[in-house]
Structures are given as structure tokens and as C-alpha cells.
Chain A
Amino acid sequence: MSDTLLSVEDLWVRFPTRTGTVDAVRGISFSVGRERVGIVGESGSGKSMTGRSILRLIRAPGQMEAKSITFNGDNLLEYSERQMRKIRGHQISMVMQDPKFSLNPVHSVGKQICEALRLHTKVSRKQARQGALEMLEAVQIRNPERVFRSYPHELSGGMGQRVMIAMMLITDPQLLIADEPTSALDVTVQMKVLAIMDKLVQERGMGLIFISHDLNLVSSFCDRIIIMYAGRIVETCRASELHKATHPYTRGLLNALPRIEEPKGRLEALQRQDSWKQEASVDARV
């Protein structure tokens, strides 16, 4: 068990709205070791809320509740807000789904990456600058100097995403939660960015939660997969065995994909069944 970095037990996230309470996450349990865990599922199934809950970043009026969220043996639910701030961005980093939103529009990209680094380690201004430029280069930014001086609105979609990844990785976290981190990247850059994360998992034993709707990508990149539907885990499997998944929902997701080799006229959309919502959540702790 010493290899378990994070263990989440019975997590719920709820939002009161005009038309009643939305249960965004409904009692899920899972664990993450020094490995790559993919979370997939349709839009609105609760993937992002699950990621944010780990860092206790659910905004009011949303409420989260869990029996425990254990990280390195400590229950994060017992931490004060001040202790949580020390965890966020240091031991656990999260690349948010909305990269440009998470960057400060009035500061240059370089300044923000340097600040992230200087909060985490004692380095001089010059070293921070050097580190930031190297990180931008590592995430395949072609012109690190120009991007360093740029403001968020001056970046393309994929550049913004890589800037966020650079900023999160520069602090050398033990656990990285990456929410759709490569959805705006062209495929070749995407592979290179995945290779960086892969290396951190293999060489430094980082844990990675990789949230994505790209089933092919997740099955080729991750070790384990958690499949979410309507706030619950319907199935979990080894990534390499995704093609053998049995749940009709998972099969539906796989069948909805267009494929380069096999042209189809119409794509198959998911035929949701009411019974899926009632099924108990599968325990994805190992």
C-alpha cells in the first residue's frame, strides 16, 4: 500500500440550482499510485469536479463531501485552508481545463511561471527565468523568448495550454491532475507533451490523473482507466484492455469515434439507458 499516493473514499459534489440540486459526483472511491490513471466519460459526467475536489477547489454554492481524501497518509479534509494552500501547486498541481482562465491576463506569461517557481524553491530571479525558458522549451514552445514576454491573450489555444503545463510541472509535484491538458494541441506536440509527463511518472514516481474524453489517447497512454457516467464510476480497467470493456456505456463511447481507416456516413451517438444512473458506483481503489 505504500505505493498509494492518493486515496479517495465516497466523494460527493452537489450544486443547488433554481431547478433543484445537481449531484455532480455521487459517492465515488478511487486511488492513484505512482502511475497514470485516466478518467474518461461523457461531458458533464463529473470528471472536472472530481479533479477539483482533490484540491478542495469546489466554488460555492457547490459543496463537496467525502469519508476521506488521503494524500501521503494525511486526510486532506482535516487540513486548514492555509495547509491546503501549501499543498496546491506544490505537492499536488492541477492543469485546469480552461487554461486562459487560469492565467492572469495582466501579467506576462514569463512572470507567472517564474513566480510559480520562486514560491516553491529558493532561486534567484535569473535562475527562475532560465528555468522558465527551459520548461517552455521542454513543452515544445518554438520561440520561448517571445512566449515568455507574451500576455495570455497573445497565445494560440495550444500555446496557452502548454504554458499551463509548464507552470504546473516546474514545481515538481508528486501528483499532477491534468484536466484535458492536451485537447487544444496538435497531435505531434501532444505526443511530445505526453512524453514529458510519462518521463516524470517513470523517473520521479509522480502520480498522474489524466482527465480526457479521447479514449484512444487514454488507452494508449495511461496504465489504468476510470470510466464515469452521471457522477459515478461505471467501470474501471487496465488501459490496454479498454477495447474489451463490457459496459454498454463504454462500448457506446468507443463506437462513437470516427476512424481514419473506416469511413462511415453517420456516427453512432450514445443510446443512454435510465438504469445506468441507478447502478452502484464501482470501487476503483487498488
Chain B
Amino acid sequence: MPVSDSALMEPKSLSAETAADARLEIKNLNVYFGEGSERFQAVKNVSVSVQQGGSFGIVGESGSGKSTVLRAVCGLVESWDGEIDIDGAPVSHKRNKAFARKIQMVFQDPYASLHPRHTVDRVLSEPLKLHGFDGIDGRVLRALDDVGLGADFRFRYPHQLSGGQRQRVAVARALMLEPEILLLDEPTSALDVSVQAEILNLFAELRKEHNLTYVMVTHDLAVVAHMCDEIAVMQFGEVVEVMDVDAMRNSTPKTAYTQELLKASMGYDAEFFGDS
């Protein structure tokens, strides 16, 4: 199905809607990779504002720059411009230790993000030691329990875990430092539906208890509808639409691309997708 061009041509600036109490605000973010003729702009003029205690979703095409936006916020990309504000103050290009306490990210790829020769125990306790926490034992056990892994898993290595078990360790690690903002990159796409339900319930509880703020990237529209109040749709490095969750549930998105996403999330339909 063709995607209407009008949806793609005008890069929207959404900063007009910015409210004063934004916890995380991204203004006109651009991210580049490569040099010279290989230079490639992965993120184009993206502006996003997330309220204190809000939960903001990013969906969109594979390769459209969703992970790159989160990585830019974490200070994991070198070449970017624009502005990233946290609680009204712009972040510096080099992030410090206090930043890590405040913001944590769960990475998309649970295989790459865990050190292959560190046990689960080490993965979870290391950040605590680095930041001078006490009661490490108890915290590690509680975190394992929170993500639905028993104490049995404490001394296993990543290769001794299934894909979903690894992702739960990654979620536990992000929660160890009790951050205020969580950046979640496909946090449940490697999980089965029951663990997904448990983790999403956990995210919801944490948000309520600790007033956490989330930015969540996912390709599962049902998950984003369940978790988020506002949703940005990305394509080709740009935000093509921002909608609230009701617009999504009622299937009243503006752009053809978002409508196509909604159709595709209804399941496989050979007649619809088969003959392209």
C-alpha cells in the first residue's frame, strides 16, 4: 500500500504544544552517522515533550530513528544538534553520574546489552556499588523478584538464559538505581505475553508509586495503547504525527502511514499484504 507523500513532506515542529512542566523536552533534534559521502541523517528535526509522570510512546517504521532518539537522550550518539532539556535545563554533551541516577534505558537487544561473562548477580549489583548503595543483596533479590525471576537465576550467565529471561534481567538492571525517567526501547518485544503482562503491570505500578516518567519505543500498538497517553509516529527519521491514545483507539489518525500501521496490527491478511 502506498503511503501518501503529503504525510512525509512537511517536518512538523511540535514544540508549540510544549508545556511549562515538561520533564523531558527534545527540541529540533538531528542525529547524523558517518562521514563525507557516507554521511547519513538518521533523525530529522524531532521535537517531543514529555510531562512529569507522563508516558510517551514512539512507534513507526523500522530504521526510522526511534532507538537513535533514545540513544541521543542517553548521550550514546556522537554527532547531534538541537536541544535536550531535562526539567528545563539543557543536558551537556557529556553525561555525568547524576544523569545515570536520573535516567536509565532498557535496550532493544537483550543479547548485545548483557556482558557475556558477567553473572546476573554482577550485572545487577555493579551499578549499585558504583553509586554507593547499601543493602545490595536484598536489592538484587527484590529486583529479580520484581521482574518475575527467582533467586535461582542469580548466578547464571546470559548464555544460560532464554531470550525473555535476558530481557527481564535488562529491565531489572535499569530499575536498580531507582531512576526518575525510564527510556524503554522495545522492552517487551522479546517477551512472551504473560511476562509482558507482568512487566507492563510492574511499569504501571512503578509509575504510580514513584511518579516515573516513561518514553517507550515499541512496534506493538496494543502495548503502546495500554501504556502511553501520547504517541508519536516516526517515518524516515521524522515525526509524522503525534496523537493521543484515544485517537489511536478510535482509528482516527491523520496520516495514511499511521492508518496502515493500525491495519497491520490487526494480524496477517494474505489478501491485503500478499500481492505486493
Interface residues of A (CB under 8 A from B): 15, 17-19, 41-45, 48, 59, 97-98, 100-101, 142, 146, 154, 156-159, 162, 180, 183-192, 194-195, 198-199, 213-217, 219-221, 252-253, 256-261, 263-264, 266-270
Docked Cα-Cα span, A266 to B202, in Å, equals 10
Show 29 residue pairs from A and B whose CB-CB distance is below 8 angstroms, ordered by the A residue: A43-B163, A43-B191, A44-B165, A97-B163, A98-B163, A154-B33, A157-B109, A158-B219, A159-B63, A180-B163, A184-B219, A185-B62, A188-B260, A190-B219, A195-B276, A198-B270, A213-B193, A213-B196, A216-B267, A220-B268, A256-B194, A258-B225, A260-B265, A263-B226, A267-B196, A267-B226, A268-B197, A269-B194, A269-B198
In the bound complex, do residue B194 and residue A48 qualify as a contact, i.e. CB atoms below 8 Å apart? no
- For A18, the closest partner residue in chain B by CB is B155
B261 at the interface (CB under 8 A from A): yes
| Shortest beta-carbon distance from A199 to chain B in Å | 7
In the bound complex, do residue A17 and residue B249 qualify as a contact, i.e. CB atoms below 8 Å apart? no
B206 at the interface (CB under 8 A from A): no
In the bound complex, do residue B264 and residue A260 qualify as a contact, i.e. CB atoms below 8 Å apart? no
Docked Cα-Cα span, A189 to B264, in Å, equals 9
Q: In the complex, which of the residues A15, A146, A258 contacts B222, with contact meaning CB atoms closer than 8 Å?
A: A258
- For A147, the closest partner residue in chain B by CB is B63
Interface size class of B (residues with CB under 8 A): 35 or more
In the bound complex, do residue B268 and residue A217 qualify as a contact, i.e. CB atoms below 8 Å apart? yes
Contacts of A221 on B, CB cut-off 8 Å?
267-268
Docked Cα-Cα span, A108 to B272, in Å, equals 34
Docked Cα-Cα span, A266 to B223, in Å, equals 12
Docked Cα-Cα span, A97 to B190, in Å, equals 9
In the bound complex, do residue A180 and residue B190 qualify as a contact, i.e. CB atoms below 8 Å apart? yes
| Shortest beta-carbon distance from B89 to chain A in Å | 30
Q: Given A180-B190, A186-B59, A187-B261, is A48 in contact with B162 using a C-beta cutoff of 8 Å? A: yes
| Shortest beta-carbon distance from A26 to chain B in Å | 15
| Shortest beta-carbon distance from B110 to chain A in Å | 8
Docked Cα-Cα span, A195 to B274, in Å, equals 5
Top 10 A-B pairs, shortest CB-CB distance: A43-B164, A158-B62, A220-B267, A267-B197, A258-B226, A187-B264, A270-B194, A213-B192, A221-B268, A256-B197
In the bound complex, do residue A43 and residue B186 qualify as a contact, i.e. CB atoms below 8 Å apart? no
Docked Cα-Cα span, A15 to B248, in Å, equals 45
Contacts of B226 on A, CB cut-off 8 Å?
258, 263-264, 267
B67 at the interface (CB under 8 A from A): yes
Q: In the complex, which of the residues B162, B225, B273 contacts A263, with contact meaning CB atoms closer than 8 Å?
A: B225
B212 at the interface (CB under 8 A from A): no
Q: Given A260-B249, A267-B226, is A186 in contact with B267 using a C-beta cutoff of 8 Å? A: no
In the bound complex, do residue A15 and residue B191 qualify as a contact, i.e. CB atoms below 8 Å apart? no
In the bound complex, do residue B62 and residue A189 qualify as a contact, i.e. CB atoms below 8 Å apart? yes
In the bound complex, do residue B268 and residue A187 qualify as a contact, i.e. CB atoms below 8 Å apart? no
Contacts of A253 on B, CB cut-off 8 Å?
192-194
Residue among A184, A215, A221 with the most chain B CB within 10 A? A184
| Shortest beta-carbon distance from A273 to chain B in Å | 13
Contacts of A43 on B, CB cut-off 8 Å?
162-165, 191-192, 195
- For A152, the closest partner residue in chain B by CB is B112
In the bound complex, do residue A219 and residue B200 qualify as a contact, i.e. CB atoms below 8 Å apart? no
Residue among A188, A258, A259, A263 with the most chain B CB within 10 A? A188
Contacts of B62 on A, CB cut-off 8 Å?
156-159, 162, 184-186, 189
